[in-house]
Amino acid sequence: MNRQRALKIVREVVSLPTAPFAEAGVIAYVRSFTSNRKHVTVKCDAHGNVVAHYRKGNGRIARPICLAAHMDHPGFRAERMASVGVVRAIWHGGVMPEYVKNARVRFHSGGAWIPGRVTGIETGKRGTQTVVKSAEIAVGGAVEPGSPGMWDFPDTDVRAGRIVGRACDDLAGVAAMLTCLDDLSTRGATGEAYFLFTRAEEVGFVGAMAACKSNSIPRRCLLAAVENSAERVNAKQGDGPILRVGDRATTFTSPATQFCELVAKDLAASDKSFHYQRRLMDGGMCESSAYCGLGYDATGLCIALGNYHNMNTRTKKLGAEYVNVEDWINLVRWFTALVTTKRRYDGRDGALDAKLDRLQREYNPILKRTRSMVMAGD
């Protein structure tokens, strides 16, 4: 992988305008990035999810990896101009109301950013929680219905070992997948994989579920949802990308999790600069729970995110999201290894099987010999 080229891709992608149901900017980028590339075919499904298939070489892989990232980020979707200089917008995603009040916003409309400020919010109840439903925003120009509205932070910067941007979640995931595809097709690397780019994750994985129901990805795939997940005390930035074994709702399936871990171990053994973490990231829910619920073998791959959903919990103010550059680079390398590995998932972990065998051989005779001593009077 060419590092400069990788950082150019992440800077561009994480700067794109997006919001749930308003992913046009990301979809256009993904389609133009993936079209006319060697060994890549691209399709858009009935719900606007994008699927790229990479295949080089003749051998059919029984269970290819499918990497999946979502193209949206918590944000506004413009509904209509309420009056001159005021847009009404629907809010989608998990950000607490106190962060939204009076916030500076920018809408992307007609190919340009239009600045604005939240002047009023409407809240409602979801369960016991008070959530933002919609807002009135004073804007510096007319905003077309359907335009995405984001927090007013500058375009993405790579500085002091961090990628800092409006929407690392999940555009840094999208960028990592595109960088992997770029690397594979440029080198003509042998392997097969699917790359799924989904819509409207932030309202509850509806793009991902629609992709499953309409068979946009083959059932035989091992799915890995790619995420930016809030940093945790036991999952820190800089300690490597994370094999996410589960989320708040479920633990993911063993075949997908095990395959990703075996490939990570292979990579770590051949390259000392690659390291990874294996963690239960139960702070939130991700698309993997939906994939598992719909009958796929799925797991999660993520990097630790700072200022999750733009909420700086220390200052109680909105902040740009950030991830560690080396975590992100190692995530891309992990993806590439998952596509090009000669390892085939056969449902077994040879090293683990050997270890369990060894333990049985060593200790079974002692179990038998000591039975009469522990079963007095039996």
Give the binding-site size for Zn ion (rule: CB under 5 A).
2
- Among 56-64, 169-177, 257-265, 349-357, which window interacts with Zn ion (CB under 5 A)? 169-177
Shortest Cβ distance from residue 203 to Zn ion (Å)? 12
Q: How far is the CB of 175 from Zn ion (least distance, A)?
A: 13
In whole angstroms, the minimum distance from the beta carbon of 74 to Zn ion comes to 9
Scanning 142-150, 164-172, 276-284, 341-349 for contacts with Zn ion by CB under 5 A, the matching segment is 164-172
CA distance linking residue 144 with residue 136, whole number of Å: 14
The two tokens of residue 9 are 């891709």
Interface mask toward Zn ion for 3-42; x: CB under 5 A: ----------------------------------------
Q: Which of 72, 74, 81, 19 is nearest to 50 (CA)?
A: 72
Shortest spacing between CB 229 and Zn ion, in angstroms:
8
CA distance between the termini of the chain? 66
Measured from the CB atom, the residue of 77 and 309 that comes closer to Zn ion is 309
CA distance readout (Å), 314 to 156, 282, 357, 368: 22, 21, 50, 59
Q: Does 72 bind Zn ion (CB under 5 A)?
A: no
Rule CB under 5 A: choose which of 23, 45, 72, 169 binds Zn ion. Answer: 169
| DSSP letters spanning 199-245 | S--TTTSHHHHHHHHTT-S-TTPEEEEEEEEE-BTTB-TTS--EEEE
The H or E element that residue 279 is part of is strand 277-280
Report, in Å, the least distance between residue 105 CB and Zn ion.
20
Q: How far is the CB of 122 from Zn ion (least distance, A)?
A: 25
Which one, of 89, 87, 85, 61, lies nearest residue 75 by Cα?
Answer: 89
Residue 169 or 183: the one with the smaller Cβ distance to Zn ion is 169
Written as six digits, the tokens of 23 are 């992913």
Task: List all residues 6 or more positions away from 42 whose beta carbon is below 8 Å from its beta carbon.
Answer: 31, 34, 35, 50, 51, 52, 53
Contact residue for Zn ion among 170, 182, 287, 297 (CB under 5 A): 170
Residue among 72 and 182 whose Cβ is closer to Zn ion? 72
Catalog residues that contact Zn ion under the rule CB under 5 A: 169-170
